[in-house]
């Protein structure tokens, strides 16, 4: 099995401007992400950015960096541009790794690629168990429910599945968390489907939940889901997140 990794790295961030260049243990964050991805067994790892500063920094440790348009509305649009620039075959397995995940385990990258390879679905992703009721109730933690074949039924910011007996009592201390799964934002695609995705009309569900992956389910396509084989650490969205990751990687 062969697959490539593409790492979108936007410079702009409302909560942490210049995020890909944030220093962590003497390296820009995007370099940590790149090095983790290189350990996954990928055939190649590419960085796709919209800013010259990120491009120049990435050139310091790899030639596999591409300048993309700065008007993309989503990471998927940037991914589609890279697929076109690289002239990837439609059946090529592409793993999209977020540029703000310096702690992402290489085994999880390889896992999502393998999951897609052995599936007839055009997309695959990962999830983890939730062990904290506050995460169940947190709209920033996206929940996912799957069918018996490990295909996603739905993704939501709401607490799904709704556990009637406990949740109707409105007592969060008595909500059992062992049936909840949090979605992990790493995706594998067949390259041809990325273009197909962009041709699909925006779904009302995706607009209401602000979740791009709901467009796939709305139009009847499958997304394969599996539990991550390695622990999943949070990405970097805020200055507080950056400090946490710096402490971990600085030892």
- Strands 181-190 and 93-96 turn out to be antiparallel
CA dist 239 and 83 (Å) reads 32
pLDDT of residue 170: 64
pLDDT of residue 178: 81
pLDDT of residue 6: 97
> Where is 204: in which H helix or E strand?
helix 204-209
Q: Considering only CA atoms, which of 118, 145, 130, 149 is closest in space to residue 232? A: 130
In sequence order, what DSSP letters do the residues of 49-71 get, joined into one string? Answer: ES-HHHHHHHHTT-S-EEE--S-
pLDDT of residue 52: 95
Query: Phi and psi at residue 65, in whole multiples of 5°?
Result: -130, 135
Structural tokens at position 78? 């940037």
Chain CA centroid to CA 15, Å: 19
Task: List per-block mean pLDDT (blocks of 10 residues) for the chain, which spans 251 residues.
Answer: 94 84 95 97 96 96 94 84 95 95 96 97 97 90 96 96 76 78 95 94 95 96 98 88 91 73
The helix-helix angle for 29-38 and 52-59 (nearest 10°) equals 50
Q: Model-level pTM?
A: 0.93
CA dist 208 and 221 (Å) reads 19
pLDDT of residue 222: 98
Coil, strand, or helix at residue 139? Answer: coil
CA distance to 16, 97, 158, 229, per residue, from 38 (Å): 25, 11, 35, 18
CA distance to 3, 167, 223, 230, per residue, from 135 (Å): 32, 14, 23, 19
CA dist 168 and 251 (Å) reads 45
């Amino acid at each position: 099995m062969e697959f490539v990794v593409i790492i979108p790295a936007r410079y702009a961030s409302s909560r942490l401007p210049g995020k890909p260049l944030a220093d962590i243990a003497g390296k820009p964050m995007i370099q940590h992400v790149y090095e983790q991805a290189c350990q996954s067994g990928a055939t190649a790892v590419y960085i796709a950015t919209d800013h010259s500063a990120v491009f120049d920094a990435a050139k310091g440790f790899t030639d596999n960096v591409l300048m993309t348009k700065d008007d993309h509305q989503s990471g998927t649009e940037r991914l589609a541009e890279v697929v076109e620039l690289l002239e990837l075959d439609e059946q090529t397995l592409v793993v999209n790794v977020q540029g703000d995940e310096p702690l992402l385990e290489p085994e999880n990258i390889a896992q999502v690629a393998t999951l897609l390879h052995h599936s007839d679905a055009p997309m695959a992703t990962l999830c983890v168990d939730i062990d904290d009721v506050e995460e169940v109730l947190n709209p920033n933690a996206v929940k996912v429910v799957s069918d018996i074949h490990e295909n996603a039924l739905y993704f939501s910011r709401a607490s799904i599945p709704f556990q009637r007996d406990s949740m109707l009592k409105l007592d969060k201390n008595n909500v059992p968390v062992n049936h909840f799964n949090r979605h992990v934002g790493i995706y594998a695609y067949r390259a041809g489907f990325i273009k197909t995705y962009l041709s699909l009309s925006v779904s009302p569900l995706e607009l209401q939940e602000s979740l791009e992956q709901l467009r796939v389910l709305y139009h009847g396509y499958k997304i394969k889901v599996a539990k991550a084989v390695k622990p999943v650490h949070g990405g970097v969205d805020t200055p507080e997140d950056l400090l946490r990751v710096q402490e971990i990687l600085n030892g």
